[in-house]
Amino acid sequence: MHLSPDDKQKVNTNAEKILIDAVENSRPLLQLTSIKRGGVNYQVPVPITKKRSYFLSMKWLLDAAFEKDNKVGLPERLAWEILDAAHGQGRVIKRKDDLHKQCESNRAYAHYRWS
């Protein structure tokens, strides 16, 4: 891919900024907790602490890199996953979106958190 000199100036090459963007984009806001009421288990969405959301985001990035094709080394696979997440796409973002969809579909059980 050939870029003009003006376009090359706009490309973000700061690795620290890219990693921070990737982790921030893939941070989940909610998680599902299993609560048993009346002999039935309900998946109840609960907010995640900031520390836990960062942990899950980084864990998902590593897991996605490990799951990719083994023909390429792990550092390169991890780099591609980080770049994808920084741009708001890829396996990690899909995993976060799937979790949020599940939380949204189980929103009716949110009142079980307090009982």
pLDDT digits over 67-94, tens only?
A: 988 889 999 999 999 999 999 999 999 9
Q: Is 46 helix (H, G, I), strand (E, B) or coil?
A: strand
Return the H-helix or E-strand segment holding 30: strand 30-37
Tokens of 114: 């307090």
- pLDDT classification of 14: cutoffs 50, 70, 90: confident
**CB neighbours of 94 closer than 8 A, spacing ≥ 6?**
none
Strand partners, 31: 46
Q: So what's the pLDDT on residue 115? A: 66
Q: So what's the pLDDT on residue 112? A: 86
* Secondary structure letter of residue 108 according to DSSP: G
As a 3-state breakdown, the chain gives helix, strand, coil percent values, each rounded to 5, of 60, 15, 25
**CB neighbours of 104 closer than 8 A, spacing ≥ 6?**
45
Give the length of the chain: 115
pLDDT digits over 21-59, tens only?
A: 999 999 999 999 999 999 999 999 999 999 999 999 999
* Secondary structure letter of residue 38 according to DSSP: T
- pLDDT classification of 13: cutoffs 50, 70, 90: confident
pTM to 2 decimals? 0.84
